[in-house]
């Protein structure tokens, strides 16, 4: 059974760097066709794709946020980390970590999400 869980600060000040960790189980990120993605959802708004880390260490970013995002493997083999620099109140959102399946070409398992508020 695949599970993912997001962790990180609930409150961040404007201009600071946000670091979120996705801890997962039930799969290996080195398995062919697997990825871990980050998707966010501002309160009352639609989903927005942020970044995707593939099994072959390839990384993809939303073009609109690429300059501020970094996705990487964590210190443990079952972790993926997303950092977002220079945060702004518009970055206030629930951030979801997801399992990506190349075969399904979609995000087939989602974490519960973590709410991050950007405010001074």
Partner 1 sequence: QSVLTQPPSVSGAPGQRVTISCTGSSSNIGADYKVHWYQQIPGRAPKLLIYNNDNRPSGVPDRFSGSKSGTSASLAITGLQADDEADYYCQSYDNSLTAIVFGGGTKLTVL
| Under rule CB under 8 A, residue 35 binds partner 1 | no
Largest CA distance in the chain: 43
The span of 12-20, 24-32, 40-48, 73-81 binding partner 1 (CB under 8 A) equals 40-48
CB of 73 to partner 1, least distance (A): 20
| Under rule CB under 8 A, residue 112 binds partner 1 | yes
User: Looking at residue 68, what DSSP letter applies?
Assistant: G
Identify the H or E element spanning 31: none
CB of 75 to partner 1, least distance (A): 25
Cα separation, 50 vs 82, in Å, equals: 9
Helix, strand, coil share (%) of the chain residues, nearest 5? 5, 50, 40
Residue numbers of the site for partner 1 (CB under 8 A)? 37, 46-49, 52, 60, 62-64, 96, 101, 104-113
């Amino acid at each position: 059974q695949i599970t993912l869980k997001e962790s990180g600060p609930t409150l961040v000040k404007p201009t600071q760097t946000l670091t979120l960790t996705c801890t997962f189980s039930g799969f290996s990120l080195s398995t062919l066709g697997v990825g871990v993605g980050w998707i966010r959802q501002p309160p009352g708004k639609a989903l927005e794709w942020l970044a995707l880390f593939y099994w072959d260490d390839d990384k993809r970013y939303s073009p609109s946020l690429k300059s501020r995002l970094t996705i990487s493997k964590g210190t443990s083999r079952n972790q993926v980390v997303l950092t977002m620099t220079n945060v702004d109140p518009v970055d206030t959102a629930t951030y979801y970590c997801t399992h990506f399946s190349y075969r399904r070409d979609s995000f087939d398992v989602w974490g519960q999400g973590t709410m991050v508020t950007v405010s001074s």
